[in-house]
Structure 1
Amino acid sequence: MVEWFLYVPQSRQGIDDLVAKARAAESAGFDGVALLDHLETPMAPASPIWEAMTAATWLAAKTERITLGHLVLCDAFRQPAVLAKQAVTLAEASGGRFELGLGSGSMPDELAKFGVSTASPRERVDALGRTLSALKRYWDADDEAAQIPTPSAPIPIVLGGVGPRMLNLVREHADWWNLPATYVDRLAEFIPQIGSAKASVQQMTGFVRRGDDAAATTEKAQRRFGHFGAGLVCGDAHALADHFRGLEAQGAQRFYVWFADFAPVDTIVEFGETVIRV
């Protein structure tokens, strides 16, 4: 059965708002919640944003069932041995409800601004590969490099991206591969390239709720996120259900739903009632 995650960037909102959205997602039938990982809000650096692992830990403490994760943690932000320890701690504290999403870093200007890294894209992907190999050793009780405690259950690895070198890492290391929203119309092209990893899709959604003016909702979503191209889909519950079924038929096994109205609780609840649970 397909899985549903709420993708909710933890920027421009309070911690209590994040908790309310996570709890609404849990009640509405979502399987998980995913955050992003940046030191400043993309394209809006003056807007506040909360640290990714801390926010996920807090949401895990405030929920009971949903899985917590990220699309995706930036490899360069965390030393691999420290990341391994953080992941095990959160996985154990949440009762196995944490997945480790990792990427090589999508905003090089941000990395340079905060003194994190000036590495090239190729160097960042190479570094991610080294991190993934190190995590396997840190989490393997039979390896001389193992950290104690090792995970009591496997921690799923989520990798995203469509470049050839990233796809090599997906095939070697990933339990889940995520297709970024801007490539949604190319899902069928990439599915054969991900090996045994399960496929997920990030989808920006202009949800026309009951009683909404469809044209106005669509216009606002297009104005905000039309640059996503096929990565933005607009429609009522029936149209969206058809759209997601089409992606599932192409091989998607999980959806990261990203709402163009920034996911107020009422939107989350109605989406659960009319799309997820139908």
Structure 2
Amino acid sequence: MTVQFGVFVPQFRIDFDGMRTRAIAAEDAGFDSFWLMDHLYAPGGKPTDSLESWTLLTALAGATSTIRLGHLVGCNPLRHPALLAKMAATVDNLSGGRLDLGLGWGSVEAEFDMFGIPVGSRRERAESLGETLEIFRKMCTGEPFDYDGRHFTLRGAYGLPVPTQSRIPVHIGGGGKQLTMPLVAEHADWWNCLGSARHRIGELAPLRGGARISAQYAVGFAHDIEQLPDVAAATARRMPAQSWGAPLVGTAEMLIDQLDAERERGVELFVLRFHDFAEPETLELFGRDVIAKLS
């Protein structure tokens, strides 16, 4: 099974030049995709600069040429589905058809309270995400349509221009059996398994329908064996296992073995968050010593 590699770089404490440099370095290193977070602040952290995700994604589309771009995952309650579809089609056009649409129903309660964003219960948010994805696909056809849902009503709506891609891939993130996995089975091209749910892939994968499996990993990449203790400590400190699951830590040879084991579990897209905030040198070495040998 051919695997793909993505790099997740949440855009807090990194300015635009730093994000652009990392996106270009990831593309040059052979990564297939580059992923942002979609929050109005850095959840769980101290107040710090955090660039708005869709604006940043648009700028990165202009700075790159082949790497695919998206969010892991977009926060559905932040945008009306018609606006989201319009933004997605625009970025897809600007990037030459390189957008992947990552979406989740929004689970950071503190964010909604902080910014006064009205949302319903978790079940209502999941229902809203399902309606958003139905509206998104209809908007992408460019044809007028009516829509009557519990959360959204549209009359004579249409989306023009249509996306460059005939079908923008949809990634739904999460690991909940009752609220998330039914949406994955109905709407997703990819199920993005959170790091904290990776130990349940075998249990959850049968619920995904026809969606392919991607998964998120905290990665401590040591350039040599002497670096391992420091790299392991930094990985544990910056990406706790309770949020990110068991990290992948090691030299290139060690990581190849660990990633091979994950491939055997059905993962086709590895989305990696590096211990050093994806420094360009790390991306270059990972591309040369790991991606080139596994692709």
- Which range, TM-score by smaller chain? over 0.9
| Gap runs ≥5 in structure 1 | none
User: Which residue identity does 1:271 align to in structure 2?
Assistant: F
Q: Which of 230, 237, 249 is matched with 1:216 structurally?
A: 230
User: Which residue identity does 2:235 align to in structure 1?
Assistant: A
User: For 1:151 and 1:222, how far apart are their aligned partners in 2?
Assistant: 40
SS at match of 1:268: helix
SS at match of 2:239: helix
Other-structure match for 1:62: 63
User: Which residue identity does 2:17 align to in structure 1?
Assistant: D
Other-structure match for 2:185: 171
Across the two proteins, how many residue pairs are aligned to each other?
278
Write out per-residue CA displacement over residues 229-275 of structure 1, whole angstroms, 9 at most, x where no aligned residue: 64312111111111111111111110101111211111111111111
Other-structure match for 2:158: 146
Q: Which of 258, 267, 274 is matched with 1:259 structurally?
A: 274
8 Å contact 2:218–2:235 — kept in the other structure? Answer: no
How far is 1:98 from its partner?
Answer: 0.5
8 Å contact 2:97–2:163 — kept in the other structure? Answer: no
The question of 1:161 aligning with 2:174 is answered yes
User: Which residue identity does 2:290 align to in structure 1?
Assistant: V
User: Which residue identity does 1:124 align to in structure 2?
Assistant: R
User: For 1:190 and 1:148, how far apart are their aligned partners in 2?
Assistant: 37
The 1:266/1:13 distance shift into structure 2, 3 A limit, reads same
* Structure 1, 182-191 or 33-42: larger mean CA deviation: 182-191
User: For 2:227 and 2:163, how far apart are their aligned partners in 1?
Assistant: 49
Question: RMSD value over aligned CA atoms?
Answer: 1.5
Q: Percent identity?
A: 37
TM-score (norm 1): 0.96
| Gap runs ≥5 in structure 2 | 146-156
In the TM superposition, 1:1-278 aligns within 5 A as 1-144=2-145, 145-152=157-164, 153-163=166-176, 164-210=178-224, 212-228=226-242, 230-278=245-293
User: For 2:12 and 2:222, how far apart are their aligned partners in 1?
Assistant: 23
Write out per-residue CA displacement over residues 175-209 of structure 1, whole angstroms, 9 at most, x where no aligned residue: 11100011222222222111111100100001111
8 Å contact 1:183–1:231 — kept in the other structure? Answer: no
8 Å contact 1:188–1:251 — kept in the other structure? Answer: no
* Structure 1, 110-119 or 201-210: larger mean CA deviation: 110-119
Write out per-residue CA displacement over residues 36-69 of structure 1, whole angstroms, 9 at most, x where no aligned residue: 0010111114111000111111111000100000
User: For 2:49 and 2:238, how far apart are their aligned partners in 1?
Assistant: 19
User: Which residue identity does 2:102 align to in structure 1?
Assistant: G
User: Which residue identity does 1:10 align to in structure 2?
Assistant: Q
User: For 2:211 and 2:189, how far apart are their aligned partners in 1?
Assistant: 5
User: For 1:275 and 1:44, how far apart are their aligned partners in 2?
Assistant: 31
TM-score (norm 2): 0.90
